[in-house]
Amino acid sequence: MHRSAHLSRRWRSFLGAATAVAAATLVVTSTTAAGLTDAAALADEPNATTAAPQAAIGALFMANDPTDHICTASVLDSAAGNLILTAAHCVSGSGNDLQFRPAYDNGTSPYGAWNVEAAYVMPSWLASQNPQADFAVLRVADQTRDGKLVSLQQVTGGYDLDTTPAVGTPVTDYAYNSGEDQPIGCTTPLLQSQGYPAIACNGYTGGSSGSPFLAKEPDGTQRIVGVIGGYYQGGCEASMSYSSPVTLGLVMQLIRGDLQATGDNVPQAGDSGC
């Protein structure tokens, strides 16, 4: 492992028999644009800097080791309220050996620690670990607080999921590098590199896998349009980070999670190839 409700409102509307019809309306925005190349982006490559913790973004830990955070994840806006998104290569088996700590900061977990119960990945990741399908939707257990059962999203809020936007769209990524107890962040234009959405920003290393690409809407709200992963499990250089494209295949995993379906037995990811 290298980095180891626009759409939500739409897919809620076709949880029933309308799934096939709505699928035909999901069109991924073109990720090609003239004049923006990898070389041009790298010439002005920014550096990620320490960022304020975000309520709906956190570190993904091994549940039996509260000192070992291995990846990053974010809370999805969902009807169930208990779904998070990370990279598939961060997960193996049912995922129930993982624990999510939103807004983790210097050893503190202000919103608690949430245990993963199930994982949902695309069929092509199950079959062959297709790097174009490096996403995992994880279901976390609800918690009892003040005598009431609450979901993760009730505590932290969540992000809508949207399709990959056009090249040049500004995106922000908050991540937790392994061995560091504060998040980093960077805002930079979205690129298309090696056939994958990507960002050129220096400083994303092991542990940043699964961190969300966030695009801002006109009203200022942010939506998830990718996560670090995909090409070489996120990339071989700290200066260029990749994502698999957001497609209907990922939306279907959100639907499975929202229906609290039986999770997948996710294969252990192989070497990144770097």
Reply yes or no on whether the pLDDT at 235 is more than 80: yes
Predicted pLDDT at 29 = 36
CB-CB neighbours of 33 under 10 Å? 15
Share of the chain above pLDDT 90, in %: 80
pLDDT digits (tens, 9 = 90+) for 89-137: 999 999 999 999 999 999 999 999 999 999 999 999 999 999 999 999 9
Condensed to tens digits (0 to 9), the pLDDT of residues 204-216 reads 999 999 999 999 9
The reported pLDDT for the residue numbered 261 is: 98
11 three-class SS:
helix
**Mean per-residue pLDDT, 65-80:** 95
pLDDT of residue 4: 54
Q: What is the mean pLDDT of residues 72-79?
A: 98
What CA–CA distance (Å, rounded) separates 207 from 131?
18
Tokens 């492992």 locate to 1
Let me know if 13 is exposed, middle or buried by CB neighbors in 10 A (0-12, 13-18, 19+). Answer: exposed
pLDDT(12) > 80: no
Of 172 and 67, more confident:
172
Fold observed for domain 6-258:
Thrombin, subunit H (2.40.10)
> What pairing do the DSSP bridges indicate for beta strands 98-102 and 83-86?
unpaired
Buried/exposed code over 141-150 (b: 16+ C-beta within 10 A; e: otherwise): ebbeeeeeee
| Mean pLDDT, range 224-241, rounded to an integer | 96
| Amino acid (1-letter code) at residue 33 | A
Nearest CA to 172 out of 57, 60, 261 is that of 57
Mean pLDDT of 157-163: 96
Q: What is the pLDDT of residue 66?
A: 84
Residue 200 CB partners (closer than 8 Å, separation 6+): 38, 41, 42, 45, 188, 191, 239, 240
pTM of the model: 0.87
User: What is the average per-residue pLDDT within 58-86?
Assistant: 96
Residues 51-55 have a mean pLDDT of 98
DSSP 3-state of 71 = strand
Q: Give me the pLDDT at residue 38, please.
A: 52
The pair of three-digit structure tokens given for residue 176, joined into one six-digit string: 């937790």
Higher pLDDT, 158 or 21: 158
The pLDDT tens digits for 186-198 are 999 999 999 999 9
**Is the pLDDT confidence value at 42 over 60?**
no
Averaged pLDDT, 33-45: 50
The domain spans of the chain are 6-258
